[in-house]
């Protein structure tokens, strides 16, 4: 079944390429004198994008200069693909008519079935089908090579872009670490430290003959422990290494002031850096929903798609989340450091959807 689907998809892609080849060539001939105009470049980019989708190719950072050349170069290849598809249709039609006639005991083109004739037609049909399929595969491969050769940036430029991306992501990680350190310092100074000062003062008053304050001392100590535990979990959740991502996210759901549902469907544990990034994406999404969006429900879904671990958090709040805020910016940098993708969708009125794709293969 899988081979049948792939074969039909290949035939469809080559046939579609044959249909678009001639209009693409006409556009190139008309547009060449005006190649520098924005409208011409935009149209060439759209036509090239359609061809790349047909070929199921993703060429990030493709060069604009090569788009017209690609459309011109693929025109004869597309027409060749059309001829190959036409031969396939004619061959299949002939085989169907032959089988229909001989199945009813009628002559086909004056010929009645005999063992030598059956063997001849069977062998010829297999050979011709093999040649036709080889032609389809060859046309598809040739178009792909043309696209990569004419549209992909040259290796030196790709290397320069990669170095720039790595430099930017490294600087982003340093900035994110510094921002997180400042955030932890604020939490300790404004929360735990102030509570410990109050606790010390209460304990001093209780020692001076106010035993009724011991209950307040106990309550303040409990609150200080809770806040200290929260800060420690924001630094790094201790249960993540021991129990895995699913248990750590269950802990997030238990401590959250809003209802949180967690679905974690991973066939195996991802690398620790991926687990940590996934945890912090989900944790920050819950924190933002509770503090800013007035949400009553947060849904967290963690699944694996190919070599990517996808973390998706959605809340039913009022939306309007600022993707450039400190917490979300830190997450985006953390994900970028792993060569992942991070998106925030939060229209006014909601819902807010935070999604991270983390490579683990």
How would residue 361 be classed by pLDDT, with cut points 50, 70 and 90?
low
CA pseudo-torsion sign 47, 51, 56, 60:
negative
Indicate the helix (H) or strand (E) that contains 264: strand 259-265
Decide if 290 contacts 260 (C-beta within 8 A): no
Segment of 171-180, 193-202, 223-232, 322-331 carrying the highest mean pLDDT: 322-331
Residue 344 has what DSSP assignment?
E
Give the range among 43-57, 83-97, 151-165 with minimum mean pLDDT: 151-165
pLDDT at 38 over 60: yes
- The pLDDT value recorded for residue 220 is 67
pLDDT tens-digit map of 269-285: 888 888 888 988 898 88
Domain ranges of the chain: 2-153, 171-235, 243-361
pLDDT higher at 271 or 63 = 271
Q: Which residues are within 8 A (CB) of 251 and not within 5 positions of it... i.e. 6 or more apart?
A: 233, 237, 239
**From its phi and psi, is residue 355 left (phi > 0), alpha (psi between -120 and 50) or beta?**
beta
pLDDT of residue 81: 92
Buried b (16+ CB within 10 A) or exposed e, 121-160: beeeeeebeeebeebbeebbeebeebbeebbbbeeeeeee
Give residues with Cβ within 8 angstroms of 353, minimum separation 6: 312, 313, 314, 343, 344, 345, 346
Per-residue pLDDT at 193: 62
Residue 62 has pLDDT above 80, yes or no: no
pLDDT at 213 over 70: no
Contact call for residues 136 and 81 (beta carbons, < 8 A): yes
Question: How confident is the model over 313-341, as a mean pLDDT?
Answer: 82
Report pLDDT for 348. 87
Class of domain 243-361: alpha beta
What are 130-142's pLDDT values in tens digits?
Answer: 999 999 999 999 9
Q: What is the mean pLDDT of the segment spanning 66-74?
A: 88
Q: Look at residue 309 in the predicted model and tell me its pLDDT.
A: 93
Mean residue pLDDT of the chain comes to 81
Average pLDDT value for residue range 21-48: 87
């Amino acid at each position: 079944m899988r081979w049948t689907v792939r074969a039909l998809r290949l035939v469809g892609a080559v046939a579609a390429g044959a249909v678009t080849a001639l209009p693409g060539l006409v556009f190139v001939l008309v547009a060449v004198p005006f190649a520098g105009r924005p409208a011409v470049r935009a149209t060439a980019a759209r036509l090239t994008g359609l061809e790349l989708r047909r070929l199921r190719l993703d060429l990030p950072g493709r060069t604009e200069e090569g788009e017209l050349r690609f459309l011109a170069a693929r025109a004869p290849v597309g027409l060749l693909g059309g001829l190959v598809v036409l031969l396939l249709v004619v061959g299949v039609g002939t085989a169907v008519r032959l089988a229909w006639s001989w199945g009813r005991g009628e002559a086909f083109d004056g010929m009645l079935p005999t063992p030598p004739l059956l063997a001849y037609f069977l062998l010829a049909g297999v050979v011709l089908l093999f040649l036709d399929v080889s032609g389809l595969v060859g046309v598809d491969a040739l178009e792909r090579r043309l696209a990569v050769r004419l549209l992909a940036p040259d290796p030196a430029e790709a290397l320069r872009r990669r170095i720039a991306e790595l430099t930017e992501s490294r600087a982003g990680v340093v900035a994110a670490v510094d921002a997180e350190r400042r955030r932890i310092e604020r939490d300790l100074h404004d929360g735990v430290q102030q509570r410990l000062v109050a606790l010390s003062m209460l304990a001093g008053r209780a020692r001076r003959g106010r035993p009724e304050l011991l209950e307040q001392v106990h309550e303040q100590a409990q609150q200080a422990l809770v806040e200290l535990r929260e800060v420690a979990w924001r630094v790094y959740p201790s249960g993540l290494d021991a129990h895995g991502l699913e248990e750590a996210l269950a802990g997030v759901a238990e401590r959250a002031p809003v209802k949180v549902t967690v679905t974690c469907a991973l066939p195996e544990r991802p690398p620790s850096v991926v687990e940590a990034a996934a945890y912090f994406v989900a944790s920050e999404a819950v924190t933002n929903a509770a503090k800013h969006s007035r949400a009553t429900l947060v849904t967290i879904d963690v699944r694996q798609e190919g070599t990517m671990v996808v973390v998706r958090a959605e809340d039913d709040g009022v939306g309007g989340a600022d993707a450039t805020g400190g917490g979300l910016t830190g997450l985006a940098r953390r994900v970028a450091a792993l060569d992942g993708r991070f998106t925030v969708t939060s229209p006014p009125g909601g819902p807010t959807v935070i999604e991270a794709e983390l490579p683990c293969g």
